[in-house]
Chains A and B, each alone.
Chain A
Amino acid sequence: MVIGPFDLNALEVAVRLKERYGAQVTALTLGSGKAKDALRRALAMGADAAVLVDDGQMAPKEPSVATRALAAAVRKLGGLDLVLCGRQSGEWDFGQVGALLAEELGMPFVPFVPRLEASGDGWRLEREVEGGLLVVDVSGPCVASITNATDNQPRLPKVKDIMMANRKPIQVWGPVELGLGEEDVGEAANRLEVLELFIPEVKSECEFVEGDDGAAKGAALARKLWDRKVI
C-alpha cells in the first residue's frame, strides 16, 4: 500500500516545517492493517510517530464518516499546531477530508496550499487560486490541504531511514479507543452513495496525412482539424 500523491506532498511540507522550526510530526491514516506500509513510508520520510485508525469496525464509505474518525484521532493526539492533508485522495479524489476535518475540529481551513510558514502565533499560507496565489494569515492552529509544487516534491527516504522505520512502533486505534459509536462511523452514518465508477475508454488512432509536399500535407492537416472542430 502506498501513500496518495498529494498526501506525499503534505508529508513533505510537514517534514520541511519540522526541519525548519523543530516539531513533532505524526502521520495519521485510516485504513486496514495494510495501511501500515504507508505509515512506515511516512516514518522513513521523517515523521516521528504514526497512528493507524483501524477501520475494521467502521464503515467509512464516504468522506464525512472517514473524517469523523480522523477528527477523533486528531483530538486524541491533542495539542496540535497544524493539521495537513493532501488536497484529494489517490483513489476516489473526493477532496473533502480537509474541509470536513476543519469543520469537525472547529479550525480554520485553507485549501490548495503549496507552501506555508510560521507567522505570529499562527501561519502564513499561500493558496493557489485561478491565475495566481492568495496569501493568507491564520492565527492559531488550522487545517490546510496541500497541493503539489516543485518545492514540495516528496523526498526519497534513505535506506537507513527505511530500515529504522521498520523498527518504530505504529499505534493502532479503533472506535473504542476513539470513543466512536455505530451512529458516528457505522453503516448507517453513510448517506452518500457512489453509483458508478469506471475508466473512460480512450481510443487512440494514428493517421498519416497524405500530400505531395509539405504545403499540401499542411493544408490536408488543417482541413482534417477543421472538420473535427479542433480549429
Chain B
Amino acid sequence: MHDTPTREVFWNIRPIWLTYVLLAPVLAAFFAGVWNHVRRWRAGKPIQRVDNWRERLRGFFTDAVAQDQIRTGDPGAGMFHILLSWGFVALFIGTTVVFVHYDLHLPIMQGWFYLVFQALILDLFGLGAMVGLLIAAYRRYVARLPRLTHGLARDGFFLGALFAILFTGYMVEGLRIVATQDPWAPWTPVGTAFGRALVALGVDSYEQQLAWHRSLWWFHLAVSYVFIGYIPYSKMRHMFTSPAAVFTRNLGPAGRLEPLDMENSETLGVKTLRDFDWKDLLDLDACTECGRCQAVCPAYAVGKPLNPKMLILDMQRQLSQEIGGLPWQNASGEPQPIIGTSIDPETLWSCTTCNACVEACPVEIEHVAKVVDLRRFQVMEESAFPETAQEAVRGIEDRGHPFRGSQASRRDWYADLPYVRELAGVGQAEYLFWVGCAVAFNERAQKIARAVAQIMHAAGLDFAVLGEEETCTGDPARRIGHEYLYEMHARQNVETLNGYGVKRIVTACPHCFNTLKNEYPDYGGRYEVIHHSQLIRELIDAGRLPLSKTEFERITYHDPCYLGRYNREYDAPRAVVDALGTNRVEMNRSRRRGFCCGAGGGRYWMDDNPGQRINVERAREAAATGADAVCTACPFCMLMMEDGLNTVAAEQGRDPVPTRDVAELVAAALEEQQAGDQRAAG
C-alpha cells in the first residue's frame, strides 16, 4: 500500500462535515470584513492608480513579493517578515493542494510532488515561519525596539496565535507519523521530530496518540479559523492591504503634489475623510504599524507633536468610526472634520514635508500628500494657520517673496557684478539662472548667488537672470497649503519663462529646483532644470574650472531633502566636495536617510519651541563628525545649519563650525587658484 507516496487526509478526524460547517461563519466574517474595507475606500474620490501595469507589477514583485523595502535598513525585520509571510503563503498553498486533492477529487497530492513540496518544503517553511515569529517576538519584547512599542499586547496575541497554529500543526503531523508509522517520515523531518519528542515525553501508546492527535487537531483548526475570520478586523489585514497599496503606489515624481481643481472643487483641500482619494483611504488601512516613519521623522525626533505613524492610525480610527469598521460599528457616523477630531492642528503644522516617512514606509503610504491636503483646507477654507506662516503667505501675495521684512531687491546681489545680465536685456541665454527668493533676499544667502554667478562666468557660460521679473515659485505657499497662491505664481512664472523661450534653468535652491522640474509641467512649463551642484560637477568633470584645494580639511555634507530624497541627487554635491581635495565625512543619517534641517514645508517661517529645534538636532550630528565645515546645497539648509551650529557652539563653548554652500566652496577654490595663477605669472 506504500507504493505511491501520499498521506491520508482527515486520517483520524470524525465527523469531517463539522470542519465545513465551522468554516462557513469564518468565511462569512472574513468576507464581510473585506467588503467593509472595500466600502471604506470607495468613499474616497477617484484617482488614477491602476494604469501602467508593467511598472506597477514590477514594484509589486520587488516590494510585496521580494519585500525589498522591508529589508532595507533593517535586515532583522526583513528576515522575520520573509520567513513568516512566505512560510504562511506556502502553507496556504499546501492547504489548497489538500482541497484540490480531497474535495475536488483531483489526486495531485501524491508521488514526488507530495514528497518534495507537500512534505519537505512545507515542513521547512513552517519551521521558518516559527523562527520568524521568534525574531518578531524578540524585537518587541526583548530588544524592545522603540518604534515597535505601539500595540504590544495585541501583537502578542497575533504572534502567540500564529505560533500556536504552527506548533500544534507540527504536533498533529508528528502524532500521525508515529501512529501510522508513516514510511515517508524522512521527508517531514520537523514533524517527525515533534512526533518522536511526544513519544519520548510519554505519548507512546497508539490510543494515546489517537486521542492527543484528535484534540490537538481540533484545537489547531479552531485557532486557525478564529485567526482567519479576524484578519480583516485587525492590523493583520495588512497582508492584503499593504500589497494593494504597493501596487497602487505613486509612480509620479515624489516631489510633485497633485494640483487642485479650484473652480470645480466643492471643498478646497481635505476636510473630512471623504475628501481624500481612495488611495489615501487605502493607505490608512495598509499601515502595518511598523513605525519606520516614526523612527525617521525629524519632528518626532525633537519632541514635536507629530508622529507620522499615529497620524495614519488616528485617521484610520476615525475612518472606522465613520465609514464602517466592525459590523456592529455602524457606518452612520456623520463625517467629522479630521482636524480637531483625530488630528491636532499643531500636529499638522509640525511637518517639514521632508518625505523621510514616505521614503521609509515599506508599503508606500503617502503621508506628506495627506498633510498638504489637510493644510489646504485649513489655509484656504478656514484661514486657520500659524500667524508666522500667514506672514510668509502675505509676503508672497504682496511682494512675490516670503521674506516680509526684507528691504532688499532681487537685483541687489549683482549690483556690482557686470557679467550678470538680465534676460530682458539680452533676450536669450543658454542658461537661465533662477536665483530663488532666499538666495536673492537673504544677505547671507546672497553669497550663494554671487558664487554661482562667479562660477558660471569663470566657465564662460552664457547665462542670464530674470531680475525683477522673477517671483516666488510658490513652493512655500504650496507646502503651507495655499494652493491658490501657488497656482497664480506658477502660471505667472511659466508665462514669463515661456515668453522668453527658456529651455535650461540652473537654480541654487532645491525647492525651486523641485517645483520648476516636477510641478511646473502641470502648467505647461517644461524645462531642463539643473541644480547648481549638478552644473558645477559637469564643469569640473569637463575641466572647465581650475580649482585649488579648499581651506577646509574635513567637510561633512548635509543632504537637502528636496534635492536628495525628492530628486535622488546625492552624488553631484559629494563629487564636487571630493574635487576640492578634502576629506569628506558622512553623518550617521545621510543620503536617503538624511535628516531634515527643519525648514521645509514652510517651517522656515514658523516658530520653534526651544528644545524642539530640528536644526539644532541636525547641527549636533554634523558637529559630531569632527568636520571643520558643513557643506549644504540649499539656502534654507545653510541658514538653518548655520543657526543650529551657532547654538551648538554656544552650548559647548567653542567657535561654531562654519557652513558653506557647495558653490561657495568652489568659488573660493576658484579665486584661490586664480590668485595663484596671477602670482605665478607675476
Contact = CB atoms under 8 A, between A and B. Distances in A.
10 contacts: A2-B397, A155-B383, A156-B383, A156-B394, A157-B383, A158-B381, A158-B382, A159-B268, A160-B381, A162-B484
Nearest to A157: B383
B262 A159 contact: yes
A163 interface: yes
Nearest to B482: A159
B393 A159 contact: no
A2 B395 CA distance: 11
Contacts of B379: 159
* Size bracket, chain A contacts: under 10
B380 interface: yes
Chain B interface residue number, banded: 10 to 19
A186 B397 CA distance: 34
A158 B383 CA distance: 6
Interface in B378-414: 379-383, 390, 393-394, 397-398
Contacts of A163: 262-263, 484
Given A156-B394, A159-B482, 9 more contacts: A2-B397, A155-B383, A156-B390, A158-B381, A158-B383, A159-B483, A159-B484, A160-B268, A163-B262
Nearest to B390: A156
Interface centre among B263, B380, B390 (most CB of A within 10 A): B380
Contacts of A158: 380-383
A4 B263 CA distance: 29
A163 B380 CA distance: 11
A160 B390 contact: no
Interface in A151-171: 155-160, 162-163
Contacts of B398: 2
A159 B380 contact: yes
Contacts of B484: 159, 162-163
A95 B97 CA distance: 91
Contacts of A155: 383
A2 B400 CA distance: 12
Nearest to B399: A2
A184 B379 CA distance: 46
Contacts of B483: 159
A157 B483 CA distance: 14
B442 to A, nearest CB: 15
A136 B268 CA distance: 44
A11 B380 CA distance: 20
Contacts of A157: 383
A2 B483 CA distance: 20
Overall SS of chain A's interface: loop
Contacts of A159: 262, 268, 379-381, 482-484
A41 B203 CA distance: 87
Nearest to B484: A159
A156 B380 contact: no
A160 B382 CA distance: 10
A214 to B, nearest CB: 13
A162 B379 CA distance: 13
Interface in A1-23: 2
A160 B381 CA distance: 7
B474 to A, nearest CB: 14
B269 to A, nearest CB: 9
Interface string B227-271: 000000000000000000000000000000000001100001000
Q: Which of B381, B383, B398 has the most CB of A within 10 A?
A: B383
A15 to B, nearest CB: 13
Interface in A180-212: none
A2 B396 CA distance: 12
Nearest to A158: B383
A158 B382 CA distance: 6
B625 to A, nearest CB: 29
A75 to B, nearest CB: 32
Nearest to B382: A158
A180 to B, nearest CB: 32
Interface string A118-161: 00000000000000000000000000000000000001111110
Nearest to A161: B383
A159 B483 CA distance: 9
Nearest to A202: B407
A160 B376 CA distance: 12
Contacts of A156: 383, 390, 393-394
A206 to B, nearest CB: 11
B411 to A, nearest CB: 15
A150 B9 CA distance: 82
Nearest to B485: A159
Contacts of B390: 156
Nearest to A160: B381
Interface in B657-676: none
A88 to B, nearest CB: 18
Contacts of B482: 159
Contacts of A160: 268, 380-381
Nearest to B263: A163
Contacts of A162: 484
Q: Please indicate which of the listed interface residues A156, A158, A160 has the most CB atoms of chain B within 10 Å of its own CB.
A: A156
A155 B393 CA distance: 12
A7 to B, nearest CB: 13
Nearest 10 CB-CB pairings of A with B:
A159-B380, A159-B484, A2-B398, A156-B383, A158-B383, A156-B390, A159-B268, A158-B381, A160-B381, A158-B380
B554 to A, nearest CB: 27
Contacts of A2: 397-398
A163 B482 CA distance: 13
Interface string B461-491: 0000000000000000000001110000000
A160 B271 CA distance: 14
Nearest to B481: A159
Contacts of B394: 156
Contacts of B263: 163
B374 to A, nearest CB: 15
A16 B46 CA distance: 40
Interface in B259-301: 262-263, 268
B264 to A, nearest CB: 11
A221 to B, nearest CB: 20
A158 B263 CA distance: 14
A155 B484 CA distance: 17
